[in-house]
Amino acid sequence: MSNTALTNGHTNGINGTTQNGVHDKVDFDPRSYDDLIMLTESVRRQVDLKEVPTIGIICGSGLGKIGDCIKDAQILPFKQIPGFPTTHVIGHKGNLIFGYLGGKFVVCLQGRFHPYEHGMDLALCATPVRLMHQLGVKNLIVSNAAGGVNPKFNYGDLMLIKDHIFMPGLCGFSPLVGVNDPRFGPRFVSIHDAYDRQLRQLAQNVAKDLKIVLHEGTYVMSGGPQYETPAEVVFFKTVGADALGMSTCHEVTVARQCGIRVFGFSLITNIANTDADNSVEVTHEEVLEAAREAGDHACTFVTEIISRV
Ligand SMILES: O=P(O)(O)O[C@@H]1C[C@H](O)[C@@H](CO)O1
């Protein structure tokens, strides 16, 4: 079957009506388990789930190519998913894709929600992970574009995420804040083993076989959307950062709450500057350009990892 965009009308079941396959604005509560079940049912109705997708993928900025590599793809635009906001960040297409990658049936978020986008809260940003869990995902591959802080990193390198520092989460902006329905998972979650050691080892083996440069390090998520000042870069470097970004940690936190194993990697799209007297401008365009250049590379890497999971 060729790639299919699913454009049929649907009934969303969450206080909304159907109009040309696009849901009206619905009153979705990201902390309501019942709303999540209705959202999941809507997705199930719109796709032909040939198998249980046990592997989930989240594409970072400009890394949508990974989604384009999926075979027999069924493409569900976010606007057809009741409760899903629309992503407005350039480089995030806004599709949920089902199909085959590395010989496995996968579900892929081709575009993600960032806390700095309009009307977001962290629980809403992480709702796709809860949806994936409902659909049967056991292993999640998260990717992002990030600024390199570790002096050994070069533009275009990949960094396997070994651990993270979730700045918004440390300041009380966690997806787990607020009412917690125990059906989502425990109230208090231990994030001591966020990035699965076995999956990291597997990725190292894949990188070696494919002759891909793969560093390992700590990813820091700040709230964005502004990039860091040189002093902030120095601060993050001092506390152990290897790469800086604006996403991922909220998704990983929710994944761990519901018991999903996580593998994460960053594409180094720019080198973060530490010298205010030698200022270097960072732009989203250069981030996207770096991601575009690395698209095939990232796709091969992810495909090979999936085939060995
Ligand atoms: O979705 P990711 O984390 O890959 O996006 C990065 C962080 C910002 O959203 C944007 C900045 O260029 O790219």
Query: In the annotation, is 117 catalytic?
Result: yes
**Ligand 1 centroid, distance to 182 Cα (angstroms):** 31
Considering only CA atoms, which residue is closest to atom 8 of ligand 1? 246
Whether omega before 115 lies within 30 degrees of 0, making that bond cis, reads: no
Confidence at residue 161, expressed as pLDDT on a 0 to 100 scale: 98
Give me the residues of the chain with pLDDT under 50, please.
1-2, 7-22, 24
Query: In the annotation, is 145 catalytic?
Result: yes
| CA dist., res. 65 & res. 291, Å (int) | 9
Confidence at residue 302, expressed as pLDDT on a 0 to 100 scale: 98
pLDDT in tens, 12-37: 334 343 444 445 456 899 999 999 99
Q: Which atom of ligand 1 is nearest to the CA of 60?
A: 4
By the 8 A CB rule, do 141 and 59 touch? no
| CA dist., res. 115 & res. 250, Å (int) | 9
List residues bridging with 161 in a β-sheet: 217
By the 8 A CB rule, do 186 and 257 touch? yes
> Is 228 labelled as part of a ligand binding site?
yes
Confidence at residue 27, expressed as pLDDT on a 0 to 100 scale: 85
The CATH code of the domain that includes 41 is 3.40.50.1580
**Ligand 1 centroid, distance to 249 Cα (angstroms):** 12
Q: Which atom of ligand 1 is nearest to the CA of 287?
A: 12
Confidence at residue 218, expressed as pLDDT on a 0 to 100 scale: 98
The model's pTM: 0.93
Domain that holds residue 172: 4-308
List residues bridging with 271 in a β-sheet: 148
Q: Choose, from 139, 150, 222, 270, the residue flagged as catalytic.
A: 270
Query: Which tokens go with 183?
Result: 């059906």
> Is 164 labelled as part of a ligand binding site?
no
Query: In the annotation, is 284 catalytic?
Result: yes
| CA dist., res. 291 & res. 269, Å (int) | 7
**Ligand 1 centroid, distance to 61 Cα (angstroms):** 5
Query: In the annotation, is 61 catalytic?
Result: yes
Query: In the annotation, is 222 catalytic?
Result: no
**Ligand 1 centroid, distance to 245 Cα (angstroms):** 6
Q: Which atom of ligand 1 is nearest to the CA of 267?
A: 4
From 110, 127, 137, select the one nearest 52 (Cα to Cα): 137
> Is 222 labelled as part of a ligand binding site?
no
Confidence at residue 5, expressed as pLDDT on a 0 to 100 scale: 55
Considering only CA atoms, which residue is closest to atom 5 of ligand 1? 61
Confidence at residue 15, expressed as pLDDT on a 0 to 100 scale: 37
Three-state helix/strand/coil letters over the chain: CCCEECCCCCCCCCCCCEECCEECCCCCCCCCHHHHHHHHHHHHHHCCCCCCCCEEEECCCCCCHHHHCCEEEEEEEHHHCCCCCCCCCCCCCCEEEEEEECCEEEEEEECCCCCCCCCCCHHHHCHHHHHHHHHCCCEEEEEEEEEECCCCCCCCCEEEEEEEEEHHHHCCCCCCCCCCCHHHCCCCCCCCCCCCHHHHHHHHHHHHHHCCCEEEEEEEECCCCCCCCHHHHHHHHHCCCCEEECCCHHHHHHHHHCCCEEEEEEEEEEECCCCHHHCCCCCHHHHHHHHHHHHHHHHHHHHHHHHHC
Query: In the annotation, is 143 catalytic?
Result: no
| CA dist., res. 271 & res. 146, Å (int) | 9
ipTM of the complex, rounded to two decimals? 0.99
Please state the separation of Cα 13 from the chain's center in Å.
26
From 120, 124, 105, select the one nearest 57 (Cα to Cα): 105
Query: In the annotation, is 215 catalytic?
Result: no
What residues are in contact with ligand 1 under a 6 Å CB criterion? 60-61, 89, 112, 114, 144-145, 224, 245-247, 284, 287
> Is 112 labelled as part of a ligand binding site?
yes
Confidence at residue 26, expressed as pLDDT on a 0 to 100 scale: 67
Q: Choose, from 247, 250, 273, 290, the residue flagged as catalytic.
A: 247
| The total number of structural domains that make up the chain | 1
By the 8 A CB rule, do 155 and 272 touch? no
